[in-house]
Amino acid sequence: VSSLAISGISELTTNDPTLGEGRLGRLHDAGIVIDEGRVAWVGPSARTPPADRHLPAAGRAVTPGFVDSHTHLVFAGERSAEFEARLAGTPYTGGGIAATVSATRAASTAELREHSAGLHLAMRRGGTTTVEAKSGYDLTVDGERRLCEVASELTEEVTFLGAHVVPDEYADDRDGYVELVGGAMLEACRDFVRWVDVFCESVAFTVDETRAIAQRAQSVGLGVRLHGNQLGHSGGVALAVELGAASVDHCTYLAASDVEALAHTDTVATLLPTADLFTRSPSADARALLDAGATVALATDCNPGTSYVTSMGLVLALAVASLSMTVDEALWSATRGGALALRRPDLGQLGLGAHGDLVVLDAPRAAHLAYRPGIDLAALVVKGGMTVAGGE
């Protein structure tokens, strides 16, 4: 089947302002055609052209597929006891990462494949059509390479996070570990990845260490995305802007100067509301960012420590509930925002020529994503014009 037509769409969100109302480019009683994997036509339902396959949306809403631009998909083990202790008052310090590193090192490649594919499938079923996936739970040269390779079997958007924390065996030789990450480890991983990430935080890497690693990755052609200002005013946000990073993620602690800097660059501020909530942290100040004109993305941060979450629908609902985002802001950030955080202008929108990645919702309006939190509304998930989840 090379073309797909969907008609009878009660509310079509295209994120292309030239196609419909407002920033989200909304149409009502609309149709869409995807041909050879790309959006080929958008317009009134009654004029939907014929295609090889025709689906009546029957009064349901359609949105671009979610773009989950921040996940730690490849790991072994679980940390529910740490989760419970934290909710009872033990602060999150990143110390639990070592437990996941031990479990991941001990796992077979088949186990890692099976586990990450299971998480990826859950994401798909929830309406996510693009996933970024990081390494970072092995922290050896061969092990990080293995995680990057497993991630690359699931997605094109793979990120090398050898600089997640300094592993125990390098506790007395931080400089040696920074050199290893920017040298042999980067070299071993680079064929599988588009991106480098560093956890720039007092419990992980300093601004200078982060800059050194990021610049070495840039020099071999990788793009930069950083974990910044998650646990405090780490300087990660300012550094991300300085480096021209595609994204700086968490942004839980922001100074006015950070908001100002983000408002004037194309570095996207990626907010991870479930990580904030489940570490009992303050909520990132989405309103300050949006009101200043910064580009905001939303993502799951799926990982066994701070956010064992695969549902972008839940993230969107919580962004509305706890970050004071409007439904339309949250929907845009979970789709187009994520695409821009990955520097993928062809994703997260349904303009002509964009990737045919969309979700048919079991609801008449996209607002139901926030209005009915916890309900999986993804009735049909289409990627490149092919059904990848849901349907008959």
The residue ranges that bind ligand NIG (CB under 6 A) are 72, 94, 96-97, 100, 199, 227, 230, 275, 301, 303-306
Residue 68 near Fe ion by CB under 5 A: no
CA distance 308 to 277: 12
Phi, psi (5° rounding) for residue 297? -115, 160
Work out how close the CB of 234 gets to Fe ion at its nearest, in angstroms, rounded to a whole number: 14
Phi, psi (5° rounding) for residue 351? -75, 165
Work out how close the CB of 101 gets to ligand NIG at its nearest, in angstroms, rounded to a whole number: 9
| 124: partner contacted, choices ligand NIG, Fe ion, none (Cβ within 5-8 A by kind) | none
User: CB nearest ligand NIG: which residue?
Assistant: 305
Work out how close the CB of 287 gets to ligand NIG at its nearest, in angstroms, rounded to a whole number: 22
| 60: partner contacted, choices ligand NIG, Fe ion, none (Cβ within 5-8 A by kind) | none
Work out how close the CB of 244 gets to ligand NIG at its nearest, in angstroms, rounded to a whole number: 22
Using the minimum distance from each CB to ligand NIG, give the nearer residue, 94 or 143: 94
**Per CB under 5 A, which region of 27-35, 260-268, 296-304, 381-389 contacts Fe ion?**
296-304
| 199: partner contacted, choices Fe ion, ligand NIG, none (Cβ within 5-8 A by kind) | ligand NIG
At 64, is the secondary structure helix, strand, or coil? Answer: strand
Contacts of 109 (CB under 8 A, 6+ apart): 146, 150
Neighbour count for residue 88 (Cβ, 10 Å) = 8
DSSP assigned state of 92: P
Using the minimum distance from each CB to Fe ion, give the nearer residue, 11 or 197: 197
Which string of DSSP letters, residue by residue, matches 132-161? Answer: EEE--SS-SHHHHHHHHHHHHTT-SEEEEE
Instruction: Specify the residue for token string 């990120």.
Output: 159
Work out how close the CB of 214 gets to Fe ion at its nearest, in angstroms, rounded to a whole number: 16
Residue 276 near Fe ion by CB under 5 A: no
Work out how close the CB of 164 gets to ligand NIG at its nearest, in angstroms, rounded to a whole number: 6
| 128: partner contacted, choices Fe ion, ligand NIG, none (Cβ within 5-8 A by kind) | none
CA distance 330 to 6: 25
User: How buried is 390 (Cβ within 10 angstroms: 0-12 exposed, 13-18 middle, 19+ buried)?
Assistant: middle
The CA distances from residue 34 to 28, 138, 186, 322, in Å, are 18, 41, 38, 36
User: CB nearest Fe ion: which residue?
Assistant: 301
Residue 201 near Fe ion by CB under 5 A: no
Residue 138 near Fe ion by CB under 5 A: no
Which string of DSSP letters, residue by residue, matches 175-209? Answer: HHHHHHIIIIIHHHHGGG-SEEEEEESTTSB-HHH
Using the minimum distance from each CB to ligand NIG, give the nearer residue, 304 or 356: 304
Q: Which of 316, 374, 390, 282 shows the shortest CA–CA distance to 13?
A: 316
CA distance 185 to 377: 41
The per-residue b/e assignment along 29-64, b for 16 or more CB within 10 angstroms, e otherwise, is ebbbbbbebebbbbbebeebeebeeebebeebbbbb
| 311: partner contacted, choices ligand NIG, Fe ion, none (Cβ within 5-8 A by kind) | none
| 97: partner contacted, choices ligand NIG, Fe ion, none (Cβ within 5-8 A by kind) | ligand NIG
Residue 301 near Fe ion by CB under 5 A: yes
Using the minimum distance from each CB to ligand NIG, give the nearer residue, 246 or 358: 246
Using the minimum distance from each CB to Fe ion, give the nearer residue, 161 or 366: 161
At 76, is the secondary structure helix, strand, or coil? Answer: coil
Using the minimum distance from each CB to ligand NIG, give the nearer residue, 58 or 81: 81
CB of 378 within 8 A of CB of 389?
yes
Using the minimum distance from each CB to Fe ion, give the nearer residue, 16 or 301: 301
Work out how close the CB of 70 gets to ligand NIG at its nearest, in angstroms, rounded to a whole number: 7
Work out how close the CB of 137 gets to Fe ion at its nearest, in angstroms, rounded to a whole number: 11
Using the minimum distance from each CB to Fe ion, give the nearer residue, 45 or 234: 234
